[in-house]
Structure 1
């Protein structure tokens, strides 16, 4: 028994317990109580462990083994394959979230001062919700996002967007909606590839109006026209020491006049 337990990475007491409840018996027992397992039982035991890993209880496995049925076994596999596929998709989405947060932290670590530049970006995908809000409506923003998006999508961050005309009118504290980078490439809508004016700013929300002032000044100096919406997103909400460490990224598409 000790050899069998070691081979399968379990405790001898576990084998005693499985024998006592009728889940897995030794090939034979001696008169003085020693348990012996045959080589042919190795695979049988691994199948039992597989069923336990799939979430079946000991009693469910005992009941099935008492009345084995190929169709029922196949149905069990089908149901659990569906569950496994769902778990894989969930883990892939979580991986996307973690990689995205890592990339944002890397940007925040290297940022020593506000950066403003034109960057050429590939097509990306976002999910967004039209919502008439201002900077102070934090609870409404979160409640709206939570009602519509998955947990992984929320973890990608909740940003805001504002139309170019509002920026030109000086209404940059009032937003047209909320958005988040899509955690799943099959979801949401695309933001076109092209040239975007990007500002990376470290400071609390009260300093954001200065960012939009700089954006307008830059466009005037370089003869650029703002198009579409500005997409505003906090990059390090999950790793803040103080409000002054907050890093905001604003991106808006630009064209030459």
Structure 2
């Protein structure tokens, strides 16, 4: 025993950043046994067992059952170690990608919310916009709920899994529908994204946009539509084609639906004057 340094259960637990109860349990199931027990039953561990403990805790972090970890440790060889580590490395890479995706979505939501805090939601303004790329869903139809559910599900899966967009999904109305003071008349879902060849994107050309904000439940957004249409007519403008509505303050930012804020973007051009 004098040829090697041994650690008590408490010291080894501190060294490996685990609890003493964890070591007792691992000993009980024969996953990691003390290298030595004295005549009083006190457990002692070797510094060389730190590697095994690190492996156990790392595999646990990857949601590997203790039963599988035990089988691996008891039957390990260079080939099985390489095979397991390759599989776990791939899982780690996927997990990192997923966490980066979540982080990007959170950061984007922070940016959008901070920008919104600087806006006067009571104003309707004209702004210049640059070229943008949109991922747009298939058209929703009026009388086919099953089809619409599939369209929405496909769009959300692509937006979240491929584009990593989780908090900025909006809806598109056509010009004709914008002139109808009714609710639930949107035809497409959309999300703004960076250009990619992986998906069929819609290019929104550089133009002037009338931008307004609706405060309150989305079902009453047509009330703000009426104000936007009045603004457009008073400024001798004409709607180009589509209208875009995006959540600014939603259930994530506020609890009361009366405080929801929806951004309305209407691409416009100067109206043709009658001769």
TM-score bucket (shorter structure): 0.7 to 0.9
Note the C-alpha offset of 1:23. Answer: 1.2
2:15 and 2:76 map into 1 onto residues whose CA distance is 27
Query: 1:178 is matched with which residue?
Result: 188
* Structure 1: unaligned runs, 5 residues or longer: none
Note the C-alpha offset of 1:112. Answer: 5.3
Structure showing greater relative contact order (alpha-carbon pairs closer than 8 Å, 6 or more residues apart):
1
For the pair 1:246 / 2:251, whether they are aligned, the reply is: no
Structure 2 counterpart of 1:27, from 3, 23, 35:
35
* Structure 2: unaligned runs, 5 residues or longer: 1-7
Structure 1 residues 175 and 85, CA gap change in structure 2 (3 angstroms): farther
Secondary structure class of the residue paired with 2:137: strand
2:219 and 2:68 map into 1 onto residues whose CA distance is 60
C-alpha contact 1:125 1:181 (8 A) present in aligned 2: yes
Query: 2:201 is matched with which residue?
Result: 189
For the pair 1:160 / 2:167, whether they are aligned, the reply is: no
Higher relative helix content: 1
Query: 2:3 is matched with which residue?
Result: none
Q: Under a length normalisation based on structure 1, what TM-score does the superposition of the two structures give? A: 0.78
C-alpha contact 2:195 2:201 (8 A) present in aligned 1: no
For the pair 1:149 / 2:160, whether they are aligned, the reply is: no
C-alpha contact 2:172 2:243 (8 A) present in aligned 1: yes
Q: Under a length normalisation based on structure 2, what TM-score does the superposition of the two structures give? A: 0.74
Secondary structure class of the residue paired with 1:26: coil
Structure 1 residues 223 and 182, CA gap change in structure 2 (3 angstroms): closer
1:172 and 1:133 map into 2 onto residues whose CA distance is 16
Query: 1:130 is matched with which residue?
Result: 139
Superimposed CA distance per residue, residues 106-133 of structure 1 (whole angstroms, 9 cap, x where no aligned partner): 4555555422112233424334231134
Query: 2:4 is matched with which residue?
Result: none
Range that drifts further, 35-44 or 146-155:
146-155
Range that drifts further, 215-224 or 24-33:
215-224
Secondary structure class of the residue paired with 1:162: strand
1:206 and 1:12 map into 2 onto residues whose CA distance is 57
C-alpha contact 1:5 1:11 (8 A) present in aligned 2: yes
RMSD: 3.5
